[in-house]
Amino acid sequence: MFSKNVLKLTYLEGLFYALMVSSTETYAIYYFTKKGISGTELALLTTLPVLLGAIGQLIIPRLVKKNVGGFLLLTHLIQFLGLGLIIHCVLFDSPFLAVLTGLSLYWIGGQNAAPLWLDWVSHHCKKSTFASYLGQRNAFVVFATMIFFLLFSLLLENGMSFVQVFSLGLIARLISSIVQGFLIFKTRNVFHSASELVEDKPCEEVMDKDVLYSFFCWGGLFRFGVTLCSPFFITYMINDLKLTTPEFVVLSAIPFLGRALFQANWVKATEEGRSYYGIQVACLAISALPILWTFSANYYYLIALQIMSGIFWGGIELTQVLMIQNHAYGSSRKFTGMQGAIFTVFSVLGALCGGYLLDSGFSIFDIFNISTIARFALAFILIFQARKFQLSKLSLRHGSNYLVTVLSIRPSLSNIMKVVPTRSRRSK
């Protein structure tokens, strides 16, 4: 279990991590888009680095068997090198391959750090408090990221350069790595009984692997339909809507608000129902997003759409993880990594296809409409696959009850008070 001081330091590390994310992940794509890269290049920048990171996650189960802390710091170093290369590409005229390499190193380090960090935390936190600690820290990081997004927007408007913004991200990653290294050193000799560790549970039911693999494939195809247009929302906001930097940042940050505030509602809805209900509800909502973007360019309308996007994307990601855990106890890491790799491969293919269509003369609205049709078609197939797990179907009553729980405002607002743990919780 974490001591009070160690617990505080995990929040401090998360704060500097949020500073790095807010200064890099959105602003890097924004900067290079403004530099005039093609649709295909934009598709590569937004998907290939994530694909390489997902492939790396397939080998994580082997890496975490020993020296977790060392591998965790190694991923920090890889991400640090990626940030350095991004800054180099801003300072000096560089080929597209250098930009792609910088972002790839950034995502490879980041995506492979996440499961290693979770494994490290699970061995130093009581099982009974693990979920609440993780939820509170995640909410803290999300809100900190939003604040930094807005802060950097103001600074850029008042003369700060992108080199300075990315350099702050580089320094933030260095500080977070130092803090994490200290935490690893501080807890190196801390041991707990097996009952206190958060580990995969033994398999409690027979899993039909063919159904699971089929679900992964159809889920991947749904991601294909999604990424036909999703990378090009940035292009649409910058080139068509002519958003200012602050307006762009707000639209980019708002989905995090939906994720943070409604995450607990998805957990509650899943406890009262089943995770596959959430997948079906979220898929249908996500399918409608592109066509909704074509209805109006009103800024406040787009903010509402982004909140909706955050709510349902956060929901589908959570419920898919829960479904795998419910049907693959003892193999959750393996199947989660496999799902991530398959989803990302299809995402890359979808983005490349969308980029090709955009470069071939299709308008952005054509891409939105094609994506909407593909999403709905694949969503219904994915719903059918999700039903196979429980051999039941989502009725109108089930769906409406699930949505009422997910979209309930009262518990969502109460989550704001849980962003930073109370003093009594910090000492545990």
pLDDT attached to residue 131 = 53
Work out the pLDDT band at 34, boundaries 50, 70, 90: confident
Q: What gap in Å lies between CA 358 and CA 379, rounded to an integer?
A: 24
| Residue carrying structure tokens 């190694």 | 74
Average pLDDT, stretch 203-230?
77
Looking at every residue in the chain, the average pLDDT score rounds to 78
* Residue 16 in this model has a pLDDT that exceeds 80: yes
Looking at domain 200-419, its CATH superfamily turns out to be: MFS general substrate transporter like domains (1.20.1250.20)
Share of the chain above pLDDT 70, in %: 74
Q: Rounded to an integer, what distance in angstroms lies between the CA atom of residue 226 and that of residue 229?
A: 6
Mean pLDDT of 187-211: 51
pLDDT in tens, 97-107: 999 999 999 99
According to the 3-state scheme, what is the secondary structure of the chain? CCCHHHHHHHHHHHHHHHHHHHHHHHHHHHHHHHCCCCHHHHHHHHHHHHHHHHHHHCCHHHHCCCCHHHHHHHHHHHHHHHHHHHHHHHHCCCCHHHHHHHHHHHHHHHHHHHHHHHHHHHCCCCHHHHHHHHHHHHHHHHHHHHHHHHHHHHHHHCCCCHHHHHHHHHHHHHHHHHHHHHHHHHCCCCCCCHHHCCCCCCCCCCCCHHHHHHHHHHHHHHHHHHHCCHHHHHHHHHHHCCCCHHHHHHHHHHHHHHHHHHHHHHHHHHHHCCHHHHHHHHHHHHHCHHHHHCCCCCHHHHHHHHHHHHHHHHHHHHHHHHHHHHHCCCCHHHHHHHHHHHHHHHHHHHHHHHHHHHHCCCCHHHHHHHHHHHHHHHHHHHHHHHHHHHCCCCCHHHHHHHHHHHCCHHHHHHHHHHCCCCHHHHCC
Least confident of 61-65, 224-228, 401-405, 417-421: 417-421
The mean pLDDT value for 216-222 works out to 88
| Whether pLDDT at 203 is above 50 | no
Name the residue with higher pLDDT: 70 or 365. 365
Q: What pLDDT is attached to residue 390?
A: 57
Instruction: Give the separation between CA 267 and CA 34, rounded to whole angstroms.
Output: 39
Residue 2: per-residue pLDDT? 58
C-alpha span between 177 and 78 (Å, rounded): 11
| Better-predicted residue by pLDDT, 405 or 37 | 37
Superfamily of domain 7-189: MFS general substrate transporter like domains (1.20.1250.20)
Express each pLDDT in 296-340 by its tens digit.
989 999 999 999 998 888 888 877 776 775 665 445 566 777 787
State residue 406 phi and psi, 5-degree precision: -65, -45
For 365-424, write each residue's pLDDT tens digit: 999 999 999 999 998 887 776 666 554 555 566 666 667 776 776 555 555 545 444 443
The predicted structure's pLDDT at residue 86:
94
How far is residue 233's CA from residue 305's CA, in Å, rounded to a whole number? 12
Choose between 56 and 395: higher pLDDT. 56
* pLDDT, position 153: 83
Q: What percent of the chain lies above the pLDDT cut of 90?
A: 24
Give the model's pLDDT for residue 402: 66
User: What confidence score (pLDDT) does residue 194 get?
Assistant: 38
Lowest mean pLDDT among 66-80, 202-216, 223-237, 310-324: 202-216
Beta carbons within 8 Å of 405's beta carbon, 6+ residues apart: 265, 268, 269, 272, 273
Write the CB contacts of 162 (distance below 8 Å, at least 6 apart in sequence): 27, 31, 90, 156
Contacts of 220 (CB under 8 A, 6+ apart): 342, 343, 345, 346, 347
Q: Residue 99's pLDDT is what? A: 93
pLDDT score, position 90 = 92
Q: Residue 362 and residue 318: Cα distance in Å, rounded?
A: 34
* pLDDT score at 137: 79
- Inform me whether the pLDDT recorded for 204 exceeds 60: no
Query: With the C-alpha atoms ordered 145, 150, 156, 160, is the resulting torsion angle positive or negative?
Result: negative
Q: Is residue 284 within 8 Å of residue 336, measured between CB atoms?
A: no
The answer, yes or no, to whether residue 198 has pLDDT greater than 60, is no
Q: What is the mean pLDDT of residues 46-59?
A: 81
Outline which parts of the chain fall under CATH 1.20.1250.20: 7-189, 200-419
Task: Give the pLDDT confidence score for residue 333 in this predicted structure.
Answer: 60
Q: With bands split at pLDDT 50, 70 and 90, how would you rate the model's confidence at 63? A: low
pLDDT at 372: 95
Higher pLDDT, 221 or 390: 221
Determine the pLDDT at residue 274.
65
How many other C-beta atoms lie within 10 A of the C-beta of residue 206?
Answer: 7
CA-based nearest residue to 10, from 126, 137, 119: 137
Of 34-43, 315-324, 344-353, where does mean pLDDT reach its minimum? 315-324
Q: What is the mean pLDDT of residues 5-30?
A: 86
pLDDT for the residue 199? 43
Q: Does the structure show a pLDDT above 90 at 58?
A: no
